[in-house]
Structure 1
Amino acid sequence: MMNQDPMYYVSKLELKPHPEGGYYKQTFVSNEQVTDEELSVTYDGKRKLYTSIYFLLTSTDVSHFHRLKSDELWYYHAGSSLTVHILHENGTYEEIKLGLNLEQGEVPQALVPKNSIFGSSVMEEDAFSLVGCMVSPGFEFQDFEMFTREELLSKYPEQEEIIMKLAYEVLPE
């Protein structure tokens, strides 16, 4: 039987708080690197071919809207289903249910395209979700961008409901 205490996983997997919300730990980093010349996106210097983390989110928190310069693959591991909320570059909103209830439209893995603005939330109350995220080219905090409600509402006013739920009023320091 799966342990239902999220702090069990935080402790056993040695997760630490993530600036976007939730907890994380980097688990894998590619030994290979790629350069700007090999990629369609401009990075400041070389990037690892891929990086991977554990990410745990509880229903009392959200993963706030943020953007990466790289594609991110999400993999469901344990706990409640997770909703990944995506604002695509063209302004359309997409909701992906990450989990194992295939009959309800959930999927065990999903792609968040590079340059999308995205966040996530746990679907059930008093629950948590443990997922894995693989970023390619590899994650670097200098490629990580968070947003305020004001910034997003000025660009995507038609997405006000989800922006109010997932964007910071003021960015954390």
Structure 2
Amino acid sequence: MNQNEAEYWITHLGLEPHPEGGFFKRSFESKEEISEKARKLYTSIYFLLRAGDVSHFHRLQSDELWYFHAGSSMSVHIIHENGHYEEAKLGLNAEKGEVPQVLVPKHSVFGSSLSEDKSFSLVGCMVAPGFEYEDFELFTQKELLTDYPQHEAVIKKIAYETIPHFK
């Protein structure tokens, strides 16, 4: 597995840069909608991080299920609502504590990075009800350190210093 393999998946799956970091493409969404707002029942994306990429700390208003597909294992860094930090290892090496699926509970602050910063990781993420940017919050290091100073090391690794402007 190498950087060329990451580019292979980016090209062949049609992945685009994601505001939180990494690359993504919506792969599936329900045909059913819920609520008067015509919200999708669920959405699913492919998500890819290359060596050196991180998915910056953010929060969703729904649970998100992560599924491992290919490449190196990925660490999903979760700060739960109660302030407890958890590093879930998404991958296929059970002897190293990896699991092929990870649940990120709604309202948790979370981001991800490669467990071993050597190639890439391709995963899938499903949100129910379906993902909407209005339910998505990105955080700066300063914001998170105010609430979670005990997690300074991971916050400085995963959170934006300043949130960039996106199209």
Q: Shorter-chain-normalised TM-score: which range?
A: over 0.9
* Residues 1:96 and 2:88 are matched in the alignment: yes
Residue 3 of structure 1: how far off its partner (Å): 9.0
CA distance in 2, matches of 1:134, 1:164: 27
Q: Match for residue 19 of structure 1? A: 19
CA distance in 1, matches of 2:117, 2:29: 33
Structure 1 segments of 4 or more deviating over 6 A? none
Query: Residue by residue, what CA displacement relative to the aligned partner does 1:66-124 show, whole Å, maximum 9, x if unpaired?
Result: 00001100000000000000000010101100000011110000100001000000012
CA distance in 2, matches of 1:113, 1:166: 18
Residue 15 of structure 1: how far off its partner (Å): 0.2
- Structure 2: which 5+ residue stretches go unaligned? none
Equivalent in 60, 68, 72 of residue 76 of structure 1: 68
CA distance in 2, matches of 1:125, 1:114: 27
Matched residue count? 165
Q: TM-score, normalised by structure 1?
A: 0.91
CA distance in 1, matches of 2:117, 2:19: 22
CA distance in 2, matches of 1:20, 1:103: 30
**Which AA in structure 2 matches 1:32?**
E
Cα RMSD (Å): 1.6
Equivalent in 26, 50, 55 of residue 58 of structure 1: 50
Q: Match for residue 130 of structure 2? A: 138
Q: Report percent identity of matched pairs.
A: 63
Q: Is the 8 A contact 2:63 2:105 kept in 1?
A: yes
Q: TM-score, normalised by structure 2?
A: 0.94
Q: Match for residue 116 of structure 2? A: 124
Q: Is the 8 A contact 1:86 1:95 kept in 2?
A: yes
CA distance in 2, matches of 1:92, 1:125: 25
CA distance in 2, matches of 1:50, 1:23: 20
- Structure 1: which 5+ residue stretches go unaligned? 37-44
Residue 46 of structure 1: how far off its partner (Å): 4.3
In structure 2, the residue corresponding to 1:5 is in which secondary structure?
Answer: helix
